[in-house]
Amino acid sequence: MATDRPVDGIAPPHPAFESYAAEPVPQAAVGAPGKEGVLELRFAPTAAGTRLVHDYARVPFHVSGTLGHDPHPDAETVFVQSPTGGIAQGDRLDVTVEVEGDAVAHVSTGAATKVQSMSCNYAAAETRLEVGTGGHLDYVPEPTIVNADARYCNELSLTLEDGATAVVGDVVVPGRLARGERFAFERYLSRLTVTGPDGLLVTDTTHLAPGERDPTVAGVLDEFEVYGTLYVLAPNRDTAAMSDAIHAAVDDGEACAGAAELPNGAGVSVRALAGRSETVQAALHLAWDRARRTLLDAPAPAGRKY
């Protein structure tokens, strides 16, 4: 029976999800085996460059090791895999990525993340990114596809020490577009909170609930379907010049895209809209490449994965 408290004993990550939290999951309850995914990655500098010194993965996450194909000579790469069909109702995901001082790491996913259709409860992910003094992290997963009736909350926090930088990407596909499914999900919320040595730098939230407000109206997504954001977090850098350079890189592409400075000198945000995920990803990759050349004097890794 439904109760008036969260099924998993933990308050939902956002008030908009409170009404879902009391709904029991008949197939496998919140907290049951396979419902609480955990991923831990820690990168450290060594004489031979950055190395992955700790990893732990629990379904639906899997890590097969590292890849040494990053254009930066000292960088290390991890593609996170999933042996499941996607994120299901009642799933709770906990991700921690730590980059020690002076290390350079790139974390992505091998394929798009599919948030499956739901009839009760919701799915949530909490991701903590920490970058030590002088370190750099690229956290640029493949797109998130939000299927019909899905309810998904993604909370992401980034902590930067002195001289640390990061690039964080997020692309949202509002359903299985090839079969005509478009904005049929119930609720999608993604929030990024960035903290520096002196406290909060910036918070940015994407909250889409098509049943409450049509996201296709002017001033929201208009005629576009796929939405993408790239955050270039680089406190105490010349964000005005970086914003201009990134805007010039994305302005002539097929996507409707642009760049702007973030508050508190935190860095630059890039927004891209288009009808296809590939178009949005291409625009954000141009921005990522320009940002990386500015911050690391090295290009972004190739966008395609095999």
> Cα–Cα distance between 270 and 261 in angstroms, integer?
9
Does some domain include residue 247?
yes
pLDDT of amino acid 241: 96
pLDDT of amino acid 231: 98
The band of 168, judged by pLDDT with boundaries at 50, 70 and 90, is very high
Q: Mean pLDDT throughout 256-263?
A: 96
> Worst-scoring range by mean pLDDT, 65-74, 114-123, 216-225?
216-225
pLDDT of amino acid 304: 59
Does the structure show a pLDDT above 50 at 163?
yes
pLDDT tens-place string over residues 18-68: 888 888 888 766 666 668 999 999 999 999 999 999 999 999 999 999 998
Does the structure show a pLDDT above 90 at 202?
yes
pLDDT of amino acid 19: 83
How many beta carbons lie within 10 A of that of residue 171, not counting itself? 22
Q: Mean pLDDT throughout 198-206?
A: 96
The domain tally of the chain equals 1
Does the structure show a pLDDT above 60 at 1?
no
Q: Residue 203 to residues 122, 193, 215, 227, 233: CA-CA distances in angstroms?
A: 23, 4, 21, 18, 12
> Cα–Cα distance between 132 and 164 in angstroms, integer?
6
The band of 200, judged by pLDDT with boundaries at 50, 70 and 90, is very high
Q: What residues contact residue 131 under an 8 Å CB cut-off, 6+ apart?
A: 99, 137, 158, 159, 160, 161, 164, 165, 166
Does the structure show a pLDDT above 90 at 210?
yes
Q: What residues contact residue 34 under an 8 Å CB cut-off, 6+ apart?
A: 28, 59, 60
Q: What residues contact residue 170 under an 8 Å CB cut-off, 6+ apart?
A: 141, 144, 190, 192, 206, 228, 229, 230
Does some domain include residue 88?
no
- Look at 33 and 159; give whichever has higher pLDDT: 159
Does some domain include residue 67?
no
- Look at 216 and 73; give whichever has higher pLDDT: 73
* Contact in structure between 304 and 279 (CB atoms under 8 Å): no
The band of 81, judged by pLDDT with boundaries at 50, 70 and 90, is very high
Domain that holds residue 147: 96-296
Does some domain include residue 178?
yes
pLDDT of amino acid 7: 42
Does some domain include residue 289?
yes
The band of 259, judged by pLDDT with boundaries at 50, 70 and 90, is very high
* Residue 274 backbone phi and psi in degrees, to 5: -165, 175
Does some domain include residue 75?
no
pLDDT of amino acid 32: 63
pLDDT of amino acid 6: 42
- Chain-wide mean pLDDT for the chain? 91
The band of 295, judged by pLDDT with boundaries at 50, 70 and 90, is very high
Q: Mean pLDDT throughout 271-284?
A: 95
